[in-house]
Amino acid sequence: MNVCFQCGMYHADKLIDPTGPFAICPECGYKHPFQQIPLLIIGGASGSGKTIVCQHLLGHVTQAVLLDSDILWRPEFNIPDTQYRDFFELWLRVSKNISQSGRPVVLFGAGMGNPQNIENCIERRYYSKVQYLALVCTDEALSKRLQQRPAWRGSHEPAYIEGHIRYNLWFKAYDSQPAIKLIDTTNVPVEETARLVAAWIDEGSR
């Protein structure tokens, strides 16, 4: 979609005319009709339950495409000085193209859940809205879950646990726009959490 069908120039920063909607090439003015539909993001600290909920929903939620953002992570994206911008731009570009099939994308990922990482991206303009949901739990539950993971994941380290406890608390304290809906997974069976998330996806996909 970033390559103009008329002049062939590449631009991620096309102008958006919502009346079409059209993505307008800044080089030649060509109006490319496209589907501007929602993007749904499910975030939360490591250990909050994102992956297991995603697995429970696969095959049951069919009105959207569910993806774990970790599948595209590579060491070259690990650039804190840019707030990992290339990684988020890549996912918005991938999701934009997938959504042209007519189904919205639901992205699961820790960093995805922070609106500051998404709302300033160039590719954000191609979505009618971005909605955020975060899974949270108590500090004790989060610490226990991380310590129970296999050693190869490196989640046993105190610094890692402390970092994600802080991130978990950040979601609980967040009070800004765009809003983030919270679901507490502390003492809730995964089936119930998945049901709540599925209902949120169904509503947000409209």
> Domain locations in the chain?
1-34, 35-204
| Residue 94 structure tokens | 């991938």
Q: What is the pLDDT along the chain (206 residues), one digit of tens a residue?
A: 999 999 999 999 999 999 999 999 999 999 999 999 999 999 999 999 999 999 999 999 999 999 999 999 999 999 988 989 999 999 999 999 999 999 999 999 999 999 999 999 999 999 999 999 999 999 999 999 999 998 888 888 999 999 999 999 999 999 999 999 999 999 999 999 999 999 999 999 88
8 A C-beta contact, residue 172 and residue 186 = no
C-alpha span between 56 and 41 (Å, rounded):
16
pLDDT in tens, 148-193: 998 888 888 999 999 999 999 999 999 999 999 999 999 999 999 9
Q: What DSSP character marks residue 2? A: -
Rounded CA-CA distance 174/169 in Å is: 9
Ramachandran region, residue 47 (left: φ > 0; alpha: ψ -120 to 50; beta: rest): left
What is the Cα–Cα distance from 126 to 22, expressed in whole angstroms? Answer: 10
Task: Count CB atoms within 10 A of the CB of residue 152.
Answer: 6
Buried b (16+ CB within 10 A) or exposed e, 176-204: eeeebeebebeebeeeebbbbbbebbeeb
Residue 175 has a pLDDT of 96
Query: What are residue 134's DSSP bridge partners?
Result: 43, 182
Report the topology of domain 35-204.
Rossmann fold (3.40.50)
What's residue 151's pLDDT? 87
Cβ neighbors of 68 (< 8 A, separation 6 or more) are: 50, 51, 54, 108, 109
Of 165, 190, 194, 203, nearest in space to 44 by CA: 165
